[in-house]
A = this chain, B = another copy of it.
Amino acid sequence: MKNPGRFASPWPAAAFAARLRTVGKTYHDRHPFHVLMNQGRLNRRQLQGWVANRFYYQTQIPVKDAAILSNCPERELRRVWIQRIMDHDGSGDDPGGIEKWLRLGSAVGLKRAELLSQSRLLPGVRYAVDVYVNFCRTQPWIIAMASSLTELFAPALMSRRIAAFERHYPWVKEEGLRYFRGRLTQAPRDADFALRLVIERCRSRELQERAMRALQFKCELLWAMLDAMYFAYVATPQKIK
C-alpha cells in the first residue's frame, strides 16, 4: 500500500495544527443544504427533517465517546474525555445535549416520540453515523480523538446558525436553541484539549497523516448526512425517460 508518510519527516507542531485547520474547508456548513438553512430558505418540513435526522447523530455521540474511552488506557485522559459523555447524556441537573435536542425538536413542531422512534431517519444518514461510531470503536483512540477535531470549526458554525434561526425562523422558540448555545462554550474547550493531545501524541508523519485523514473522514460523513437530506427534502429528481 502506498504510504509516503512512513518515510517522511513529521511536520512541526504549528504546521501540523495549521494543516488540521485547513480541513475545515470541507466542513458541512458549506453544504448546499446547510447554506439554504442559514439563508432562511428551508420551509418548516425541511427544517424538521434536518432536526429529526441530525438527532440520530446526537444520540450516537456518547456511544462513540464511550467507545473511545474504552479504547484509551490512560486514566488521566479518560477523566477528561468522560465529560463529553456527560455533556450529551446529562448528569445531575444538567439535562444534557440529547435532551436539549429533543427540546429543539419540540420547538420546530416534532413530538418527542417522533424523534425517538426514528421514523423520519433517512437510511443514508443512519449509515454515515453508524460508520462513524464503528470508526471510533475500531481505530486507535488517538485517531478516533482526531476525528473529533471538527469541533475546531463548530463555534463559528454555531454562532452563524443561532443568528440565522433568530432572523429567519422566528417561529422556533428560544428554548429550542439551547443546544446550540451550550456548544459555543463546550466545543472550544473540547477542541482545544483534543488538538493539543493529537499534536503531542501524533509525532510521526505516518500518525499525523492518519489524524488528518480521520478529520477529513469526519467532515465527509457530516457532508454525506446532508447529501441524504438534500435529496430527500430539497432536490426534485428529473424524471427518468
A residues neighboring B (CB under 8 Å)? 59, 62-64, 66-67, 69-70, 73, 75, 78-79, 82, 85-86, 89-91, 96, 98, 137
Contacts and interface: CB of A to CB of B under 8 A. Distances in A.
Nearest to A63: B70
Nearest to A64: B70
Contact of A62 (B78, B85, B90, B137): B78
5 contacts: A62-B69, A69-B85, A70-B70, A75-B89, A82-B82
A78 B70 contact: no
A59 B74 CA distance: 10
A64 to B, nearest CB: 8
Please give the count of copies of this chain that the complex contains.
2
Nearest to A136: B70
Contacts of A86: 82
A89 B78 contact: yes
Contact of A79 (B64, B69, B91): B91
Contact of A85 (B59, B64, B82, B96): B82
A60 to B, nearest CB: 9
Contacts of A85: 69, 78, 82
A112 to B, nearest CB: 13
Given A66-B66, A66-B67, A67-B70, 9 more contacts: A62-B69, A63-B73, A66-B78, A70-B70, A75-B90, A78-B85, A82-B85, A82-B89, A82-B91
Contacts of A64: 70
A62 B89 contact: no
A107 to B, nearest CB: 20
Chain A to chain B: the 8 pairs with minimum beta-carbon distance, closest first: A66-B70, A66-B69, A67-B70, A66-B66, A75-B89, A78-B89, A79-B89, A63-B70
A128 B82 CA distance: 26
A67 B91 CA distance: 19
Contacts of A59: 73, 75
A69 B98 CA distance: 16
A137 B137 CA distance: 10
Nearest to A76: B89
Contact of A90 (B66, B67, B79, B89): B79
Contacts of A96: 75
A189 B14 CA distance: 48
